[in-house]
Amino acid sequence: IVLFEDLKKAIEENQLLLHFQPKYGLAHNQIEGVETLVRWKHPEKGMISPGEFIPLAEESDLIIQLGNWVLKEACYQYKVWEQQSYINFHLSINISPKQFLHPDFTDNIIQVLEETGMSPLKLDLEITESLAIENTESTIEKIQILKQYGIQISMDDFGTGYTSLSYLSMFPLDRIKIDRSFIQYLPDNKDHKAIVQSILTVAKNLNIRVTAEGVETQAQLALLHQLQCEEVQGFYFSKPVPPDSLLAHWNAQL
């Protein structure tokens, strides 16, 4: 088991690192964005997955500290890529509900953007459905403030919570990411195909872009292409990779 004290130390002693997974736009077959995924290189236990330590961090205010570290580090990385190459993709960062709801969240983001010189237009925040459902008013309010700066907002793991499709119109979202549980059994599962199709139709009418997560096969990709899904992400294209490999992926397509 992972210990709270260990994690606290990990943040302070730089044991965390960032990997990035590309998201491809199907219109131009190009990397449109990259998702930041944190990793923990434990001195004795080796690599620990965020699935193990994010929930632990979320039990306390440690998630604020961890979230701020990820934010700052990812924006710095973006600037480093910009210095290394011509890049033209957005940077997505997963935001925990507690982090999003913190009163200093917006100020902190703006400060990090100023400090790193990263354009707010290139930043995309992935929020969760449960945040939106449980804190509807405050979430809408905060999204509106962030959008004034030009920051993009995506709803992550869409379909796993209880958001009805009509709910989508309440939030000024740029993008929704269809959870991989709906992509996994495509193209054969007719129910999942119908669900994905409905999400795409509603999103298109609301002017919200759609990313399909967890694409692993050519057959899934072909169907998503046929359904006119705009963006795809998954192991079929690339697993999350270190910063240098991400830039190599980008440069290889130019």
Residue ranges that bind Mn ion, judged by CB under 5 A: 94, 126, 156
Given a contact cutoff of 8 angstroms between Cβ atoms, the answer to whether 106 and 142 are in contact is yes
Check residue 159 for interaction with ligand G (CB under 6 A).
no
Q: Which is nearer to Mn ion, 6 or 213 (CB)?
A: 213
Asked whether position 157 contacts ligand G by CB under 6 A, the answer is yes
Task: Confirm if 87 and 81 have CB atoms less than 8 A apart.
Answer: yes
Per-residue binding string, ligand G, 204-233, x by CB under 6 A, is ---------xxxx-----------------
Interface mask (CB under 5 A) for Na ion, residues 128-157, using x and -? ----------------------------xx
Question: Considering the complex, what minimum distance in angstroms separates the CB of residue 208 from Mn ion?
Answer: 16
What's the min distance (Å) between Cβ of 143 and Mn ion? 17
Residues 44-63 that bind ligand G (CB under 6 A): 49-51, 54
Closer to Na ion by Cβ: residue 113 or 173: 173
- Residue 50 binding partner per list Na ion, ligand G, Mn ion, none, with a CB distance cut-off of 5 to 8 Å that depends on partner kind: ligand G
**Residue 70 interacting partner from Na ion, Mn ion, ligand G, none (CB closer than 5 to 8 Å by kind):** ligand G
Counting other chains too, the contacts that 228-233 makes at CB distance below 8 Å and 24 or more residues apart are 228/200, 228/204, 229/26, 229/196, 229/200, 230/25, 230/26, 230/27, 231/23, 231/24, 231/25, 231/26, 231/32, 231/33, 231/175, 232/23, 232/24, 232/26, 233/21, 233/22, 233/23, 233/24, 233/35, 233/177
C-alpha atoms less than 13 angstroms from C-alpha of 135 in its C-beta half-sphere: 17
Best CA proximity match to 70, nearest among 117, 123, 32: 123
Q: Is 115 helix (H, G, I), strand (E, B) or coil?
A: helix
Question: Contacts with ligand G: how many residues (CB under 6 A)?
Answer: 22
Determine, following the binding rule CB under 5 A, whether residue 6 of this chain makes contact with Na ion: no
Query: Does the bond joining 187 to the residue before it have cis omega, within 30 degrees of 0?
Result: yes
Least separation in angstroms between residue 190's CB and Mn ion is 27
Nearer to ligand G, 31 or 70 (CB): 70
Which member of 37, 146, 151, 210 binds ligand G (CB under 6 A)? 37
Binding to ligand G (CB under 6 A): which residues in 167-186?
Answer: 180
Ramachandran area for residue 169 (φ above 0: left; ψ -120 to 50: alpha; else beta): alpha
Closer residue to ligand G in complex, CB, 51/103 = 51
Q: Which residues bind Na ion (CB under 5 A)?
A: 156-157, 213
Q: Which residues bind ligand G (CB under 6 A)?
A: 21, 36-38, 49-51, 54, 70, 94-96, 156-157, 180, 213-216, 234-235, 240
